[in-house]
Structure 1
């Protein structure tokens, strides 16, 4: 039967009689369960929290824990390891779903790696008032929006270049990315810029997208290709690499059409003084036609690395070679 309950992201989770936290991304699952507990505690600080392991479950334990207490305190029953649920647990959950206990929130974690408990999952998805929190691994295109949302939740402004730098350095592990964002926010003040990220995480960013862009802008074809291959060999993804090129060349395009200098012009362009000065240095030797060609090449590469070509690494190497050779010819 088709799923009938809402399927939401971790940041949308809210109290419900039954909540299924489903998917392989444990970091997002932990976030969902932490948020759910926080919301329930805000509703009533006397919340009673109980934990069960579905893989070591004994018959009747759910009914005992979920039953109303003498003083009717609200209850949160957190169930881990749903993917290894015992037959007794599945049977008890199916019985419980027929009449969930008022004031009790039952949250079940299942990573979806096997079909164990499918009958239970199907029943939850048919239960009126239940919710499913989708905790799927983030793809290439999801990391930048995730980082942007993390910064928004921390009430901190960040430049596109800073976000690209963070994703470029920590894209292989979502928990590392989230922790890196929180750390740089806690340890710095003011808007988070690319320079702040590159300074704070120098060891992680030294062979990443921005080092490749620097070599290309300098017209050093050999260094650009070597740096690119080092970045890819250490796990850098082509998508944020191309995003770094797009950010830098858009910046060059903005500066190429600006006249005057100083803080006022920099503010009008949404830049820092040093960014404006560096961009003007980088523009030496660029004609409007060459800049347009470069931006068009970056747009084509962006499509290529997002699934329009079979080999995204070849697409980004082609872009790097094309832009670096163009600069070297100046």
Structure 2
């Protein structure tokens, strides 16, 4: 039998009929309102049928919190049900979505469609064929995989889809961060944004929590000093982050990351290896006019990595890129025994590299 947890006292949210407006300006509760796709979880409004699509649990959780809060604001007696779709009994969805004796608004969450059984699939397809009840919000969650494709296809064009895609790169995390501050009507300086991703970007939940803390505790525009004060001890200073900062021309940040890396056990040789890899990419890109994918293959790096390096390469000149590669080679030799102070040799190279950008 399905594990259905019902409770009007659970944390929930208001209702379409309370005059809430959608991102596009239409009433979220209007029957026949045209569905949308790829909604931002920060802005989404309740609708009769919703799909949280993507593997990122943090985004799905934030979306559900907003949906519940919006519904609860208009209906304090909201009835909330969570369905275990892997063990649902035949007809259970229809039962929990049927009109309530006292007319309470209802919110139903069907989690993990990739694990649903045949009984739930049949019930869900049948439910989609019926006219939606204006007092019922059904939210389905699909985190990935092929199971559930038939149901997803049936929901296409009918459900409001909330984007719960995973952040696969620092660029994705930076976009998430900017949206967090924009949604709050706050400003974060570019150096502070990069520092925050470095400090708290191991997961979106960590990054989201860090953003909310700074928004709550720091007045005005967020600076790099603010990030360092709250999260400096958590900086994940790897050799690659040092290299990125150096070739971006962020000398102070690169030096700070490098010293933190040394203090946490990263070897100078690992840093020179990262600097050399980044230097080769920049040098190859400076005067390159052909296919980026072909160049990526020649260099043995993923195309997305080279595309990121291309943004940096625009600020470099070929002779300065060559000089930076030479500086890295000298530092590498010194780190491997040619100098009694390898840590200082590498730091000197970082300064030379960062000072050469855009000159």
TM-score of the aligned structures, taking structure 2 as reference length: 0.60
More relative contact order, 1 or 2 (CA 8 Å, 6+ apart): 1
2:7 counterpart residue number:
none
Cα separation, partners in 2 of 1:311 and 1:134, compared to 1, 3 Å: closer
Q: Indicate conservation of the 8 Å contact 2:111/2:140, yes or no.
A: yes
2:154 counterpart residue number:
123
2:317 counterpart residue number:
none
Q: Indicate conservation of the 8 Å contact 2:111/2:141, yes or no.
A: yes
Question: In 1, distance between residues paired with 2:286 and 2:178?
Answer: 24
* Residues 106-165 of structure 1: per-residue CA shift (max 9 Å, x gap): 1011111x21122111111153xx211121112332222211221233343322211111
1:278 counterpart residue number:
none
2:129 counterpart residue number:
98
* Residues 272-322 of structure 1: per-residue CA shift (max 9 Å, x gap): xxxxxxxxxxxxxxxxxxxxxxxx99x969x9998373896xx99968948
Q: Indicate conservation of the 8 Å contact 2:36/2:161, yes or no.
A: yes
1:133 counterpart residue number:
162
Correspondence 1:36 to 2:33: no
- Tell me the matched-pair count: 257
Alignment partner of 1:24 out of 28, 36, 55: 55
Cα separation, partners in 2 of 1:325 and 1:52, compared to 1, 3 Å: same
Question: In 2, distance between residues paired with 1:83 and 1:115?
Answer: 7
Alignment partner of 1:70 out of 101, 105, 114: 101
Q: Indicate conservation of the 8 Å contact 1:21/1:108, yes or no.
A: yes
Question: In 1, distance between residues paired with 2:177 and 2:137?
Answer: 30
1:183 counterpart residue number:
213
1:254 counterpart residue number:
none
1:60 counterpart residue number:
91
TM-score of the aligned structures, taking structure 1 as reference length: 0.64
1:110 counterpart residue number:
142
Alignment partner of 1:142 out of 169, 172, 178: 172
Alignment partner of 1:324 out of 351, 355, 359: 351
Gaps of 5+ in 2: 1-33, 297-301, 314-320, 329-348
Q: How far has the Cα of 1:202 moved from its partner?
A: 2.1
CA RMSD of aligned residues (A): 4.2
Q: How far has the Cα of 1:183 moved from its partner?
A: 2.1
Gaps of 5+ in 1: 243-295
Q: How far has the Cα of 1:199 moved from its partner?
A: 2.1
Relative to its length, the structure with more helix (as a share) is 1
Q: Indicate conservation of the 8 Å contact 1:158/1:191, yes or no.
A: yes
Q: Indicate conservation of the 8 Å contact 2:42/2:183, yes or no.
A: no
Cα separation, partners in 2 of 1:183 and 1:59, compared to 1, 3 Å: same
